[in-house]
Amino acid sequence: MKTQNSLKIGALLVILLTNAVALGGVFWNRSGEGESRLILSQRELRLPYARFDRENSGLALALNWRVAAPPDKNNVYWEYSSGGTPEWLNKAKMESLGFDMSPTGKGNIRWNDRMLSRDVLLVLEQDGEAYRLALARARQHLDAEQTKLETMPESNEKKNRLKNVADRLAREEKESSRLFVIDAGLDLTLLRGKYPDRTRYAIVHGQVRPAWNSGQNDSIAGGYVSGVSIAGINVPHALRPLLASQSGQEKFTAGVSFGQRLEPWITQLEVTTR
């Protein structure tokens, strides 16, 4: 009996200690003024498909971030959601992050599965130059497609092609996330010195890995942004009723602070209908 009681007490102490450590981490993260604070909207914070259930009233928003990709063979730029190979994440940048980018193996190529992702610091830019560039590229794509199709006879193919590029521009203007990963580093102080505006740039933990083209030229080596270490941003209990509508038509803005541990939490929330 004493052994069983000792085991129960031991298990309880472990639970209490674990909770204390977790709460201590939250308290430390939210202490002081915070590292940065962004104003995000439903474009950058995705609501879950299942909002609430009666047994669990928790609600977490997913951070919707993007990277700008190099142009494709048709010189069209596409911005990837939640991962991609931006032009700024080149060989030199990857080497500065501690990766050995020297070519090895068959055909001077180091295969992706030979090197795993590493933890780094990523810079998130909200509604800045990266988004304006994405918007300009979508407009240029529409203009180019209209010019290309001017001499093409009217047909369903022509209508569909024009509709697709027009829809892309409309999504970029009204729906797509304006939150872009624009840089990476290992030193928080150096990155913050490079991006001092704490209302425009947030620095978070994330992951990158090498990315290699199938060609033979070593200069094509670069990197892939593979993740941001934010599983979800919990909506405070007092603010959850603001997003309780089942219509799916919420349009909102949220103040999101990033603390000492670069972890986010919601400080304010305003909701309107579309």
Nearest Cα to 82, choosing from 226, 198, 250?
A: 226
For residues 159 and 146, the answer to whether their CB atoms sit within 8 Å is no
pLDDT over 70 (residue 114)? no
What distance in Å separates the CA atoms of residue 65 and residue 128, rounded to the nearest whole number? 13
pLDDT over 70 (residue 60)? yes
- Residue 155's pLDDT band, with cuts at 50, 70 and 90, is confident
Report helix, strand or coil for 129.
Answer: helix
Contacts of 226 (CB under 8 A, 6+ apart): 83, 117, 206, 207, 208, 209
What distance in Å separates the CA atoms of residue 248 and residue 228, rounded to the nearest whole number? 26
What distance in Å separates the CA atoms of residue 85 and residue 14, rounded to the nearest whole number? 43
DSSP H or E stretch at residue 163: helix 156-174
Q: What is the pLDDT of residue 20?
A: 45
**What mean pLDDT is predicted for residues 122-129?**
98
**What mean pLDDT is predicted for residues 192-218?**
84
**What mean pLDDT is predicted for residues 220-230?**
89
98: its two tokens: 């501690």
**What mean pLDDT is predicted for residues 178-189?**
97
Domain ranges of the chain: 33-128+178-273
- Residue 222's pLDDT band, with cuts at 50, 70 and 90, is confident
Least confident among 45-54, 141-150, 176-185, 206-215: 45-54
**What mean pLDDT is predicted for residues 38-66?**
80
Highest mean pLDDT: which of 11-25, 180-194, 219-233, 240-254? 180-194
